[in-house]
A = this chain, B = another copy of it.
Amino acid sequence: MGHMIARLQTALDDLSIAGGTIVVGVSGGVDSVALLCGLAQLAASQHLKPVAAHLDHGLRGSRSAEDAAWVARLAERLQIPVVTDHVDVASRAAAAGKGIEETARTVRYEFLQAVATDHIARWIAVAHSADDQSETILHHIVRGTGLSGLRGMPAERTLPCGVVLVRPLLGMTRAELETYLAEIGQDYRVDDSNDDPQFTRNRLRHSVLPVLRRECNPQVDEALRRLGAQASELQSAMQTLAERCLDAAVRDLQPQVARLDWIVLADQPRHLVREVFLQLWTRQRWPRQRMGFEHWDRLADLVLDADSIAVTLPGRCDARRRGGLVVIEHPEGVAREAGQAD
């Protein structure tokens, strides 16, 4: 078994991907062709049924249609069912008043979910590589998405439709995937939209990362991924501790009222206290959209700052100290239906 296939096997095992239908997003570029060929090789042993899905974004003139036909021929040769579709992304973006990059992403995921639903698939696999991951982390750093953005793309995520989006190639570099395709004698399409500098991601790929590698650290991609993994682990640990702290502090939870033990919280670091309230909102299904950093921080004040007695928060939410309790009343809280999953 080749090097890449062995690593893909490990990734599938780590993600518990076996026994079911998996939709594979295939642009025709090196990453997605490697993913499709790798999954074709492992399909029998993993009891997997891959379905190739290609969306023609209509952004590359006649080349777009050629790509679609090329992917269809590849899938046929691999004896994998293929679904192709065409969306005029530029018109959609103009109509919605949104950017090309954002719109392309939205329609691509809509398409993949539709294919997954049609084929009763358990997974959608996309071909993001380790290089995509370091670019994403750098992109998040530069855009200012804060600590949570350092985590980069998750290896798995359950989509609203219930299908699990997986990224089995996050541990492999583009160079490794190119080597694999060369070994099996498989060519691929060159997606020149990857070179279009109107996309921020491409500017990082072509203008910034090469400078960082050459001028500062040849291993900068790896450094970014390691930083992402560290940040991810630290944040997960803090979330676990916040859940436990919330468990210890809860005295009473009603749909529109929560009563917490003030003493349990008063001794904790501010960061943990904010995280506890965030978890409370999630547990209570109170809307979080309008809650910003300063709101979580004012809740922390209520616990940590003796002078803070009461705060009013978005959604006419009222939080105040009453004796040894912190009492939060949220008029937007709704009772769960009987039998509704937690």
Contacts and interface: CB of A to CB of B under 8 A. Distances in A.
Nearest to A144: B223
Given A144-B220, A241-B272, 9 more contacts: A139-B216, A141-B223, A143-B216, A143-B217, A144-B217, A203-B215, A207-B215, A208-B212, A241-B269
Interface of A: 139, 141-144, 146-147, 150, 200, 203-204, 207-208, 211-212, 215-217, 219-220, 222-224, 226-227, 230-231, 233-238, 240-241, 269-272
Contacts of A270: 233, 237
A337 to B, nearest CB: 33
A263 to B, nearest CB: 15
B200 A215 contact: yes
Nearest to A240: B269
A209 to B, nearest CB: 10
B147 A217 contact: no
B227 A141 contact: yes
Nearest to A224: B141
Contacts of A235: 234
Contact of A234 (B141, B142, B147, B203): B147
